[in-house]
Amino acid sequence: MLNAQEAEALILELVCPLHRERDVETVDLGVARDRILAATVASQLDFPHWDNSAMDGYAVRYADVQDCPVVLEIVEEIPAGVQPKKSLQSGQAARIFTGSVMPNGADTIVIQENTQRDRDRVTILQSPQFQEFVRQRASFYNAGNPLLSPGIAIGAPEMAILAAAQCTQFQVYRRPRVAILSTGDELVTPDSPLQPGQIVDSNQYALSTFVAQNGALPLPLGIVRDRAEQLKQTIAQAIISADIVLSTGGVSVGEYDLVDRILGELGGELHVRSVAVKPGKPLTVATFPHQKHPCLYFGIPGNPVSALVSCWRFVQPALKKLSGLSNYQPQWIIARSRDELRGAVKRETYLWGQLTFLEGKPEFALARGSKSSGNLIDLAQTTALARVPLGEKSIAAGEEVWVMLI
Ligand code: AMP
Ligand code: MG
């Protein structure tokens, strides 16, 4: 059985990221939020576009203001958004404001606090540095150079940069398609009155949300009964229509656990059958080498907690890598555990809870209630998984623990 690190590395290696030419679409700036850039963006504009003032004050010639105080003639006022009309001659100054374009002939700004004004004259009280408070054209960015690189997600700063650069349309990766199916004779939809023994298919909702939160398109295929023919048909359809398939249930060793056999019949190569983790030990990962379009199959345990923990731990980095994101590795940090954390010794154990901060220091607070993988109720508000390593019985309250952010 693979350990968690081996499984993670193997899964990431199996991922075929979306293609930088075939798997892209053009989007408008207004709807680009959270999309992933597929091509380098460059701008035809320099930043700043013009030499401009960083402060309210006076544009001057440095040569005129080396021996202060000195009186200069104000020949123009330059509000923001206006092109200066005059070229400064020796002995002249222009009133200027933050962001206003520098007039020709001026090379330095004197802030208004260091001046005294008298109608069309200004006394410069204190010598500035050469070029002080001038933002030079192209000092932030030179037109034509790469501005944003492929593989980054578009958030608020990137939106601002793209807008400022007047990039109103650009290429992003298409959203990965993720088929989701729930297997089990006991499953019903949330709107069905429960007969004895029936269970609501909560995984369909959990996994669809998880997929959407990761920027992918969920393709919900519903509940499939534990019948080989029906299951085979649905899985066959899923693997041709999706980049990733997530099925829950049917991968342990129960009599009705048909998924692995069916994957084999459909030409699947099984790379992972189980991982030494708790929860989530039964985990099937398969690829379909005979299929033209790559598909990564995850057969996930049916227990609602195991299902989500497996998604967070193993599917999430794979999905991010497939999406084209360059930063897809799971994020681990060290936190102090508020509670005692018990491990399963023979398996790396994940305990769900919340990462909080106490006086700036990260702390992990274990979820309350039963740690049964069937107890989905206490999974609410989970933001992190704490890890008790293989071979360790427990981590005492107050000790440090590695925590994965989800
Ligand atoms: P399995 O992995 O199929 O053996 O299922 C393990 C447990 O998880 C059983 O108690 C199932 O009833 C439950 N389960 C399986 N699939 C789902 C699902 N889609 N939603 C909620 N619970 C499920
Ligand atoms: Mg089942």
**Residue 216: both structure tokens together:** 């992918």
Question: Of 19, 114, 87, 49, whose CA–CA distance to 323 is shortest?
Answer: 19
Rounded to whole angstroms, the Cα distance separating 204 from 190 reads: 10
**Residue 88: both structure tokens together:** 């400064």
Best residue for ligand 1 mutational test, from 185, 208, 248 (most atoms within 8 Å of Cβ): 248
Cβ-count burial of 205 within 10 angstroms (0-12 exposed, 13-18 middle, 19+ buried)? middle
At residue 361, the pLDDT reads 97
The ligand placed nearest to the CA atom of residue 300 is 1
Helix axes 316-323, 4-14, angle to 10 degrees: 20
The tens digit of pLDDT for each residue in 95-115 reads 999 999 999 999 999 999 999
In this model, does residue 194 exceed pLDDT 80? Answer: yes
Nearest CA residue ID for atom 20, ligand 1: 201
In this model, does residue 288 exceed pLDDT 90? Answer: yes
Q: Give 170's strand partners.
A: 27
In percent, the amount of the chain with pLDDT more than 90 equals: 95
Which H/E stretch holds residue 364? Answer: strand 361-366
Q: How confident is the model at residue 369 (pLDDT cuts 50, 70, 90)?
A: confident
| pLDDT, averaged across the chain | 96
At residue 332, the pLDDT reads 98
Asked whether the beta carbons of 233 and 251 are under 8 A apart, the reply is no
The ligand placed nearest to the CA atom of residue 249 is 1
In this model, does residue 60 exceed pLDDT 80? Answer: yes
**Residue 147 C-alpha to ligand 1 middle, in angstroms?**
48
Q: Give 305's strand partners.
A: none
Q: How confident is the model at residue 257 (pLDDT cuts 50, 70, 90)?
A: confident
At residue 373, the pLDDT reads 72
What count of Cα atoms within 13 Å lies in the side-chain half-sphere of residue 187?
Answer: 21
Nearest CA residue ID for atom 16, ligand 1: 302
